[in-house]
Amino acid sequence: MKKALITGITGQDGSYLAEYLVQLGYEVFGIVRRQSVAENQSSRIHEINDQVTTYYGDLIDETSLYKIIRRVQPDEIYNLAAMSHVRVSFDVPSFTIKTNALGVLNMLEAYREVTPEAKFYQASSSEMFGNSVDNDGCQRLTTNMSPVSPYGCSKVMAYNLVCHYRNAYKLHACNGILFNHESPRRGTNFVTNKVVKGAVEIKKGLREKLELGNLDSSRDWGHSYDYVRSMHLILNHTEPRDWTVATGETRTVRQLCDYVFKSLGLNYRDYVVQNKRYMRPEELNYLKGDSLEIREKLGWKPRYNFEMMIDEMISIWQDRL
């Protein structure tokens, strides 16, 4: 039975990945950063709570990482933990860099020292590209990385650290550059779930308006479940290398709003208002990924399209509310 260690196991991606690996017969372990309300940190994995083992730890606490890796002796390490909200990274840039960049350095050092024979996956991000776009309107491994947020900057450093450790120490360390991916488990301060929850609340008469930032930014949105499957494929490829994972389709936040509100029999223009509070100091205007290589070489293919993903999110919020 293979052992997998997942940092950020209680997050959106971590919970889907844990479920997927349990189904594949893995023994799954996770690192949890303590919160004052215990229910908040385990709600996404409550259905498999008896099938996974979790330990308290933190990426910026090297001692906890060494201790947990020594105890687990994992075959595969998935580093998904991060300060993951781009807009918030402008408010807490130092914490973002410490967690997302220096935290990855801590993980790599513990991995190299304790279980160098294991395989290591780093959750990289399309935010690393910033506003760089190739001539065909896509971003890929060869696209210039010019991040426009502290979050993006931190992810570029982490990405390069993984490449360096792979080359310098001959480790099986990989980056997955995943474009935006969502699900009903997404936090409600992220735009997709914020729009869906807000629209359902408006439909049910629980609120009158929905405040958003830039309605004209474009994103390549996929489903988290599809993307965690790509993580496993990436890590178990014979050659340790980096990959881009995306749907290859892009939509604006305005188009997202239009679809969600129309699905509920509403017109978003009657309810959505812009608030400068939610605008970024430097905007990332457009993301659209080229995932042809992972589709052709690893056989990855998303099972959800945009409409299926959003419909699932709407249905969940209608039930919850």
Q: Any catalytic annotation for residue 125?
A: yes
Residues 194 and 185: their CA atoms lie apart, in Å, by 12
Active-site entry in 121, 127, 165, 286: 127
What is the distance between the terminal CA atoms of the chain, rounded to a whole angstrom? 41
Q: Any catalytic annotation for residue 43?
A: no
Q: Any catalytic annotation for residue 283?
A: no
Active-site entry in 125, 126, 183, 224: 125
Residue type, 128: M
Residues 10 and 199: their CA atoms lie apart, in Å, by 26
Active-site entry in 151, 227, 259, 268: 151
- 8 Å CB contact between 190 and 85: yes
Q: What are phi and psi of 312, to 5 degrees?
A: -60, -45
State how far the alpha carbon of 94 is from the alpha carbons of 32, 84, 151, 154, 296, in Å. Answer: 21, 14, 10, 10, 39
Residue type, 211: E
Residue type, 71: R
**Beta-carbon count within 10 A of 107 CB:** 26
Relative to beta strand 3-7, strand 76-79 is: parallel
Angle at 44 between CA 18 and CA 304, to 5 degrees: 70
What is the four-CA torsion angle of 255, 186, 184, 215, rounded to 10 degrees?
-10
**How buried is 311 (Cβ within 10 angstroms: 0-12 exposed, 13-18 middle, 19+ buried)?**
middle
Residue type, 318: Q
- Which sequence positions are flagged as catalytic? 125, 127, 151
